[in-house]
């Protein structure tokens, strides 16, 4: 059906071009809001009526007759209805809809994928500081980032996954101090332990684990480093180095369990040691975009739409936190990534304007909207009808590892992707482990497993189904399922463009529902061989699209449940 649509679009473009030179480039089909109105719709007559000085409906009648006279419309279109002021509602022949089954089965895992464009895109996500376990919010970010990477890759882009983490600064020093206190035998609640809302200490049990392993002189290895503890509890630098490596390893284990990998881990400290931070500041000074006031260095960020100018270097000589962000994104640009997407929590909203201002002011030719941001809200967790707020492991929040242990990676990914990133989400642990139609991931996976069971019961070679006669697929249920299969590629393209993996979850739930309806309406393994093979081809194509869509989300497609 995709090839059918291309042929019909070409015929429409040629016909429009004959009516008005240049109009052919605007040829497009829309999906009718009401399915009963047809399969495709065109507003071309209404768009051309005014430039041509014609009545829209009169032009629609001429256009309809001209289109039906073309070979493509003659082969694939059953009728064109003119509605309202000049809408063209196009009804396809059943044979046209059936072509999608053959296209899906021929393309297999590649169905919906677009050819390589050569464009590079860098997606930065998770980027948690190595000061504690990954929490549920990091899980939402990991699911979002990974799915957006898969969506962009499906559109032919070359995708680079990057994890940026702060391995220096106040939080890392707090981590080291907390670990040293634990190593000395102190714990939260002791007189020696910092207390109060703003006290600089981490109270989770994981700090005690780090301290014990440090004293035991253990070796920890993460994706980007390997450190052996000295055991000297007076050496704060050694403790800091070991604690960061320990938590990097813990985060790596969480990400591996969550089936997320990165192409590079980028250290904030490298921006300082390489001189990139100082170089970025000098670019801004040289461009005349800074000034000194009250002993501080300021960026003229209001020149670029910020609500006020921002301090870059404080009176004590240290840089504010957005300055290394500017240096980091200049580095991304210089590395050839002119398309960059940052997945971050909504608490980062305030930094967007100042980072973009710094990038535009740097004189590198970086455009106004660089980088793109996808901001997400935090996640509430419900278990046993009550909100879970504290993890013993972390001391103050529910960890991603807790959620994985309670449910599954598949459920977490699907659930966390089932809403727009900027909407609040409550993760229901009890729902995530149920095995019924109320559980959306189970509902979709069960549809796939159900089809696999049908194919196994048939016992034939599924590869041969792409060549069978599809003419028996004439029922309303079969046609509805085929039309939905045909929407998959366009849905992927739109979801990639809009950073909207939730659209994939909506589509998969709709496709699963359509399959279940079809299964209830028509027996598949019937005695009539021709009918049986056609129906098997349709459900095999449905299983393929379910598989492909779940793969975009990083969710498995089981053959048995």
Helix (H, G, I), strand (E, B) or coil at 122: strand
| Half-sphere exposure of residue 333: CA atoms within 13 angstroms, side-chain side | 21
pLDDT (0 to 100) of residue 225:
85
| pLDDT at position 271 over 90 | yes
Distance CA 4, CA 467 (A): 17
Domain ranges of the chain: 2-92, 437-553
CB 141 within 8 A of CB 345: yes
Query: pLDDT band for position 374 (50/70/90)?
Result: very high
Phi, psi (degrees; rounded to nearest 5) at 180: -65, -40
Query: Using an 8 Å Cβ cutoff, are 241 and 257 in contact?
Result: no
Burial environment of residue 198 by CB neighbours within 10 A (0 to 12, 13 to 18, 19 or more): exposed
pLDDT of 73-91, one tens digit each? 999 999 999 999 999 999 9
Cα(556)–Cα(330) distance, integer angstroms: 37
Q: Where residue 389 falls among pLDDT bands split at 50, 70, 90?
A: confident
Q: What is the DSSP letter of 319?
A: B
Write out pLDDT tens, residues 319-336: 998 999 999 999 999 999
Residue-wise pLDDT for 247-257, tens only, equals: 999 999 999 99
Residue from 3, 106, 2, 110 nearest 547 by CA: 110
Q: Which residues contact 8 (CB under 8 A, 6 or more apart)?
A: 29, 40, 72, 73, 76, 77, 90
Residue with the larger pLDDT of the pair 183 and 133: 183
Q: Report the C-alpha gap between 59 and 560 in whole angstroms.
A: 55
Give me the percent of the chain exceeding a pLDDT of 90: 88
Residue 165's pLDDT is 87
Q: Closest Cα partner for 175 from 79, 83, 239?
A: 239
pLDDT value of residue 391: 65
DSSP for residue 544: H
pLDDT for res 2: 79
- Mean residue pLDDT of the chain comes to 94
Say if residues 451 and 465 touch (Cβ distance below 8 Å). no
Determine the pLDDT at residue 540: 98
Pairwise CA distance, residues 242 & 191, whole Å: 26
CB atoms within 10 A of CB 251: 24
Is 395 a residue whose pLDDT tops 70? no
Task: Write the pLDDT tens digit of every residue in 430-489.
Answer: 999 999 999 999 999 999 999 999 999 999 999 999 999 999 999 999 999 999 999 999
pLDDT surpassing 70 at residue 392: no
Q: Is the pLDDT of residue 394 over 90?
A: no
Q: What is the pLDDT of residues 201-236, one digit of tens each?
A: 998 899 999 999 999 999 999 888 899 999 999 999
What is 437-553's CATH number? Answer: 1.10.730.10
Ramachandran sector of residue 259 (left: φ over 0; alpha: ψ -120 to 50; beta: rest):
left
pLDDT at 373 over 80: yes
pLDDT reading at 198 higher than 70: no
Residues 58 and 48: beta-carbon distance below 8 Å: no
Residue among 84, 78, 49, 77 nearest 63 (CA)? 49
Q: Say if residue 35's pLDDT is above 80.
A: no
Beta-strand pair 77-83/296-299:
unpaired
Q: Is 460 exposed, middle or buried (0-12, 13-18, 19+ CB in 10 A)?
A: exposed
Confidence band for 545, pLDDT divided at 50, 70 and 90: very high
Tell me the C-alpha distance between 146 and 138, whole Å.
12
Interatomic CA distance for residues 467 and 456, integer angstroms = 19
| DSSP letter, residue 184 | T
Q: What is the DSSP letter of 381?
A: E
Higher pLDDT, 232 or 392: 232
Whether 114 has a pLDDT exceeding 90, the answer reads yes
Helix, strand or coil, per DSSP, at residue 83: strand
Q: Are the CB atoms for 477 and 521 separated by under 8 Å?
A: yes
How does pLDDT run across 148-181, given as a tens digit for each residue?
A: 999 999 999 999 999 998 887 788 999 999 999 9
**What is residue 28's predicted lDDT score, i.e. its pLDDT?**
93
User: What residues contact 100, with CB distance under 8 A and at least 6 apart?
Assistant: 1, 2, 482, 483, 485, 486, 541
Angstrom distance (rounded) from CA 510 to CA 513: 5
Per-residue pLDDT, 37: 84
Q: How many other C-beta atoms are found inside a 10 Å radius of the C-beta of residue 495?
A: 25
Q: Is 343 exposed, middle or buried (0-12, 13-18, 19+ CB in 10 A)?
A: buried
- 196 has a pLDDT exceeding 80: no
Beta strands in 24-157 (DSSP E): 40-42, 77-83, 87-92, 120-124
CA distance 551 to 539: 18
2-92, CATH topology level: Gyrase A; domain 2 (3.30.1360)
End-to-end CA distance of the chain: 32
Closest C-alpha to 414, from 508, 343, 488: 508
Q: Cis omega before residue 358 (within 30°)?
A: no
The pLDDT of residue 168 is 74
Is residue 190 over pLDDT 80? yes
Q: Provide the pairing of β-strand 425-428 with 226-228.
A: unpaired
Per-residue pLDDT at 285: 96
At residue 96, the pLDDT reads 94
Q: Say how many C-beta atoms besides its own lie within 10 A of residue 438's C-beta.
A: 10
- Angle formed at CA 152 by CA 269 and CA 501, multiple of 5 degrees: 100
DSSP-derived letter for residue 393 is T
């Amino acid at each position: 059906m995709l090839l059918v649509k291309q042929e019909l679009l070409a015929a429409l473009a040629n016909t429009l071009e004959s009516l008005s030179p240049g109009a052919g480039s605007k040829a497009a089909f829309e999906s009718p809001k009401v399915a009963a109105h047809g399969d495709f719709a065109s507003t071309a007559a209404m768009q051309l009526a005014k430039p041509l000085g014609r009545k829209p409906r009169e032009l629609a009648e001429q256009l309809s007759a001209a289109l039906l006279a073309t070979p493509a419309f003659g082969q694939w279109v059953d009728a064109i209805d003119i509605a309202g002021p000049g809408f063209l509602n196009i009804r396809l022949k059943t044979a046209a809809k059936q072509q999608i089954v053959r296209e899906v089965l021929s393309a297999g895992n590649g169905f919906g994928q677009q050819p390589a464009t050569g464009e590079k895109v860098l997606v930065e996500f998770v980027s948690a500081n190595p000061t504690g376990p990954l929490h549920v919010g990091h899980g939402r970010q990991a699911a979002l980032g990974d799915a957006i990477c898969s969506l962009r890759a499906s559109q032919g882009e070359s995708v680079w996954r990057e994890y940026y983490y702060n391995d220096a600064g106040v939080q890392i020093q707090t981590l080291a101090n907390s670990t040293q206190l634990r190593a000395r035998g102190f714990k939260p609640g002791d007189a020696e332990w910092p207390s109060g809302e703003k006290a600089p200490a981490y109270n989770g049990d994981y700090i005690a684990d780090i301290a014990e392993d440090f004293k035991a002189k253990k070796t920890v290895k993460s994706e980007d480093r390997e450190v052996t503890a000295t055991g000297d509890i007076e050496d704060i630098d050694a403790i800091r180095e070991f604690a960061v490596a320990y938590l990097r390893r813990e985060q790596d284990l969480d990400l591996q369990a969550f089936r997320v990998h990165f192409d590079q881990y980028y250290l904030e400290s490298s921006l300082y040691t390489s001189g990139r931070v100082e170089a970025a500041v000098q670019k801004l000074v040289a461009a005349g975009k800074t000034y000194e006031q009250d002993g501080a260095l300021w960026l003229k960020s209001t020149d670029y739409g910020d609500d006020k100018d921002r301090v870059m270097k404080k009176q004590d000589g240290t840089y504010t936190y957005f300055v290394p962000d500017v240096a980091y994104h200049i580095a991304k640009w210089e590395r050839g990534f002119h398309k960059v997407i940052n997945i971050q929590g909504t608490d980062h909203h305030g930094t967007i304007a100042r980072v973009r201002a710094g990038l535009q002011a740097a004189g590198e030719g970086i455009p106004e909207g660089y980088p793109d941001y996808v901001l997400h809200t935090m996640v509430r967790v419900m278990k046993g009808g009550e909100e879970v707020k504290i993890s013993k492991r972390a001391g103050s929040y529910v960890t991603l590892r807790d959620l994985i242990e309670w449910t599954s990676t598949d459920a977490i990914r699907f659930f966390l992707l089932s809403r727009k990133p900027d909407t609040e989400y409550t993760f229901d642990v009890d729902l995530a482990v149920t095995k019924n139609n109320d559980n959306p991931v189970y509902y979709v996976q069960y549809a796939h497993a159900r089809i696999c069971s049908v194919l196994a019961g048939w016992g034939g070679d599924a590869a041969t189904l792409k060549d069978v006669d599809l003419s028996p697929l004439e029922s309303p249920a079969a046609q509805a399922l085929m039309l939905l299969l045909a929407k998959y590629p366009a849905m992927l393209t739109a979801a990639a463009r809009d950073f909207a993996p939730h659209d994939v979850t909506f589509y998969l739930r709709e496709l699963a529902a359509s399959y279940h309806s079809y299964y209830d309406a028509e027996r598949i393994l019937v005695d009539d061989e021709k009918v049986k093979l056609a129906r098997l081809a349709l459900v095999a194509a449905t299983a393929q699209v379910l598989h492909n869509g779940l793969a975009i989300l990083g969710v498995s497609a089981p053959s048995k449940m």
